[in-house]
């Protein structure tokens, strides 16, 4: 009986193993919540490996829709012909305008390849894709051949492309979620590509300047969908999003290749085949009102956010300032003070200290932690100016930033740990050992600071000399004023004395004249 029970259990276990699992639970994240049929999350540094096992049917061939325009865009960028002018052909504008995403070109117009790339990637213009391909390769089929060659070069072994835009009902245009992750990781290494796919809105004109088109990105992680006045579309903004491309065809379903960066880490989420398994949507999609259709339009963006949020959280480590100090992060630094007193016991050398909060908690991504573990002493970047005595305990003498990569984790002022008295200029001769009289000292005690930066303290001697100069100037000004007043007073006294002498002389002359007149009258 016991043998029969064991045999039954083994058979049951074997049968369970035969049951396919389409959505595996990957380290705490249930991929069954991802509504797209094909999906994968990768680190851009390792695009062939599902991050934390987050994948679903990642190697099954499927239609990619317009997400293949990532490859079209990159081949155009690599051509180095972005400033060349292309003419819009009849084929480009007559290509299935119904249910077709377009830049809005007209036959005969001339546009630069650069502007056409924005029309290709933001509104997903199939007309722009055809113009680009025809200009760069002569035909769309010749350009598709280049696409397949590049895919093989990148190791996209399960991909094949027959169109330059991804709109295809034949099934001959296919890839996989993993291959699309490889393609996107390669594309994101190009600055021009990152700039284009990260742009929310773009306005461009044809080469004549007579036609202007305003373009808006279809990536709702970057820009909110606009309300039609009857309802507000679901907001899917994600602050760390940097691109990349949407897609939507009958064969591919709703697709999205997304990228987000945080703390030096770039993650790529590939979501293909959205709504293909939703019978209700497939039956009603053509007659749905925008309000009813929006949840289906938003789900690929919401699923990308779920993957990014989980991935970044798993890659985040929490650490306190005290943990960093325990690892050897410096909080004290040596500094040299100029003009220190001859009696200073340490020759003007002091220690300056940062005042940090040991309990402060930081959230750091794995690359940042790797840099810290590699050399924790490299975090501190000090800014200390030329220090001149006197220095008092607790004086702020500089600052320190604790930096990982391009990010400042935290900062602090730097404080002096002791007093440093100032030295003086010696003008009296000193007596050396043996009674020999030495020459008078002519320089301050202390040399130049070993740390760079602007002075944070004015020299005490400079302050004294400045004060003396000011006093001398005031005294000189007062002396000039006094001299001027004295001169004026003396000049006035001399003028009055001369006037009095003239008046006295005149009176004497008048008296003599009167006396002479009286004497003549008597005669």
The CATH number that applies at residue 41 is 3.40.710.10
Does residue 307 carry a pLDDT above 90?
yes
Mean pLDDT of the chain: 86
150 has catalytic annotation: no
Query: Token pair of 361, please?
Result: 């908690």
Residue 21's pLDDT band, with cuts at 50, 70 and 90, is very low
When pLDDT is cut at 50, 70 and 90, the band that residue 442 belongs to is very low
In a domain, residue 271? The reply is: yes
The pLDDT of residue 431 is: 44
Mean pLDDT for the stretch of residues 385-396: 94
Would you tell me how many other CB atoms lie within 10 Å of the CB of residue 391?
A: 25
Whether residues 69 and 51 fall in one domain: yes
Instruction: Please check whether residues 194 and 342 belong to one and the same domain.
Output: no
Q: Let me know: does 288 contact 307? Beta carbons within 8 Å.
A: no
Query: CA–CA separation, 6 vs 358, rounded Å?
Result: 59
Separation CA 248–CA 364 (nearest Å):
36
Q: Is the pLDDT of residue 25 over 50?
A: no
Query: Average pLDDT in the 252-258 region?
Result: 97
375 is a domain residue: yes
Is 362 in a helix, a strand, or coil?
strand
pLDDT at 487: 84
Domain co-membership, 284 together with 335? no
Judge if 274 and 362 occupy the same domain. no
pLDDT tens across 222-233, in order?
999 888 788 999
Lowest mean pLDDT among 26-40, 363-377, 429-443: 429-443
Quote the crossing angle between the two packed helices 69-79 and 113-121, to the nearest 10°.
Answer: 160
Decide which of 499 and 279 is more confident. 279
- Quick one: what percent of the chain has pLDDT higher than 90? 67
Average pLDDT over residues 267-271: 98
Q: Which of 56, 63, 101, 124 is the catalytic position?
A: 124
Residue 231 lies in a domain: yes
The CA-atom distances, in angstroms, between 307 and each of 38, 40, 53 are 13, 9, 11
Residues 122 and 152 in one domain: yes
Residue 407 lies in a domain: yes
Could you tell me how many residues make up the chain? 523
Q: Which of 412, 434, 460 is the last residue of a domain?
A: 460
Q: Which of 110-114, 411-415, 461-465, 503-507 has the lowest mean pLDDT?
A: 461-465
Residue 400: band (very low, low, confident or very high) from pLDDT cuts 50, 70, 90: very high
**Which of 437, 460, 483 finishes a domain?**
460
Among 66, 137, 368, 449, the one annotated catalytic = 66
Do residues 341 and 268 both lie within one domain? no
- Average pLDDT score over residue span 308-317: 94
Q: Do the Cβ atoms of 55 and 165 come closer than 8 Å? A: no
Query: Is 244's pLDDT higher than 90?
Result: yes
**Top-confidence residue, 517 or 75:** 75
| Same domain assignment for residues 54 and 130 | yes
20 lies in a domain? no
Known catalytic residue at 66: yes
Task: Give 379: exposed, middle or buried? Use CB within 10 Å, 0-12, 13-18, 19+.
Answer: buried
Question: Which residue from 268, 312, 306 is spatially nearest to 32, judged by alpha carbons?
Answer: 306
Q: pLDDT (tens digit, 9 = 90+) per residue, 355-378?
A: 999 999 998 988 888 899 999 999
Say whether both 377 and 412 belong to one domain. Answer: yes
Q: Is residue 89 annotated as part of the catalytic site, yes or no? A: no
How confident is the model at residue 104, as a pLDDT? 94
**pLDDT given for residue 463 in this prediction:** 60
Q: Given 314, 336, 354, which residue is the final one in a domain?
A: 314
Neighbours of 462 (CB within 10 A): 13
Q: Does residue 305 sit in the same domain as residue 442? A: no
Instruction: Look at the pTM and tell me if it is higher than 0.85.
Output: no
* 294 and 220 both lie in a single domain: yes
Q: Are residues 332 and 371 in the same domain?
A: yes
- What confidence score (pLDDT) does residue 500 get? 80
Reduced to 3 states, what is the DSSP secondary structure of residue 256?
strand
* 5 pLDDT higher than 80: no
Domain that holds residue 124: 35-314
Q: What angle do CA 35, 37, 42 make, to 5 degrees?
A: 90
- The residue annotated as part of the active site, out of 56, 69, 150, 254, is 69
Return the SS3 of 1: coil
Cα atoms in the Cβ-side hemisphere of radius 13 Å centred on 445: 18
pLDDT winner (highest mean) among 1-10, 351-360, 428-437: 351-360
**193 versus 280: which is more confidently predicted?**
193
Pair type for strands 332-338 and 407-416: unpaired
- In the structure, what pLDDT confidence band is assigned to residue 510 with cuts at 50, 70 and 90? confident
For the chain, how are helix, strand and coil distributed in percent, rounded to 5?
40, 20, 35
pLDDT, position 243 = 96
Query: Is 470 inside a domain boundary?
Result: no
pLDDT tier, 169 (very low <50, low <70, confident <90, very high otherwise): confident
pLDDT at 462: 54
Pair 242, 198: CB distance under 8 Å: yes
**What's the rounded mean pLDDT across residues 441-461?**
39
**Does a structural domain hold residue 251?**
yes
Pairing of the two strands 332-338 and 387-388: parallel
Whether 469 is in a domain gets the answer no
The total of structural domains in the chain comes to 2
Ramachandran area for residue 49 (φ above 0: left; ψ -120 to 50: alpha; else beta)? beta
Residues 324 and 252 placed together within one structural domain of the fold: no
| pLDDT at 71 > cutoff 90 | yes
């Amino acid at each position: 009986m016991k043998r029969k029970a064991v045999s039954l259990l083994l058979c049951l276990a074997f049968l369970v193993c035969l049951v396919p699992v389409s959505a595996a639970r990957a380290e705490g994240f249930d991929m069954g919540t991802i509504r797209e049929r094909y999906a994968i999350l990768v680190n851009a540094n390792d695009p062939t490996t599902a991050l934390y096992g987050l994948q679903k049917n990642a190697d099954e061939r499927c239609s990619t829709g317009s997400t293949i325009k990532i490859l079209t865009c990159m081949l155009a960028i690599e051509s180095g012909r972005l400033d060349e002018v292309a003419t819009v052909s009849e084929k480009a504008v007559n290509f299935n305008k119904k249910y077709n995403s377009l830049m809005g070109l007209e036959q005969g117009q001339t546009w630069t390849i650069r502007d056409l790339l924005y029309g290709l990637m933001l509104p997903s213009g199939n007309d722009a894709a055809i113009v680009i391909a025809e200009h760069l390769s002569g035909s769309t089929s010749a350009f598709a051949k280049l696409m397949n060659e590049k895919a093989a070069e990148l190791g996209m072994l399960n991909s094949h492309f027959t169109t330059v835009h991804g709109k295809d009902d034949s099934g001959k245009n296919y890839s996989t979620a993993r291959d699309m992750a490889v393609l996107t990781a390669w594309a994101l290494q190009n600055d021009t590509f990152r700039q284009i796919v990260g742009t929310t809105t773009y306005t461009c004109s044809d080469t004549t300047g007579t036609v202007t088109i305003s373009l808006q990105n279809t990536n709702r992680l970057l820009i909110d969908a606009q309300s039609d006045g009857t309802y507000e579309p679901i907001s899917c903004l994600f602050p760390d999003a940097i691109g990349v491309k949407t897609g939507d065809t009958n064969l591919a379903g709703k697709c999205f290749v997304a990228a987000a960066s945080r703390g030096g880490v770039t993650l790529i989420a590939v979501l293909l085949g959205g709504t293909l398994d939703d019978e209700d949507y497939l039956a009603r999609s053509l007659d749905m009102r925008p309000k009813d259709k929006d949840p289906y339009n938003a789900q690929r963006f919401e699923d990308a956010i779920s993957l990014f949020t989980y991935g970044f959280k798993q890659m985040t480590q929490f650490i306190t300032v005290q943990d960093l100090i325990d690892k050897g992060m410096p909080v004290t630094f040596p500094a040299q003070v100029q003009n220190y007193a001859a009696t200073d016991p340490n020759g003007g050398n002091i220690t300056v200290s940062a005042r940090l909060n040991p309990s402060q908690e930081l959230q750091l991504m794995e690359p940042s932690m790797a840099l810290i573990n590699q050399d924790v002493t490299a975090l501190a970047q000090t800014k200390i100016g030329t220090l001149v005595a006197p220095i008092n305990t607790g004086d702020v003498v500089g600052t320190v930033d604790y930096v990982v990569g391009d990010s400042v984790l935290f900062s602090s002022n730097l404080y002096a740990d002791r007093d440093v008295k100032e030295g003086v200029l010696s003008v009296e001769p000193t007596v050396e050992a043996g009674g020999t009289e030495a020459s008078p000292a002519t320089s301050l005690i202390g040399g130049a600071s070993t740390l760079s930066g602007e002075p944070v303290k004015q020299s005490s001697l400079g302050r004294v000399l400045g004060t003396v100069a000011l006093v001398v100037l005031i005294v000189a000004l007062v002396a000039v004023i006094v001299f001027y007043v004295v001169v004026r007073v003396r000049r006035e006294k001399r003028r009055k004395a001369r006037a009095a002498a003239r008046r006295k002389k005149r009176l004497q002359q008048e008296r003599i004249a009167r006396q002479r007149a009286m004497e003549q009258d008597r005669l």
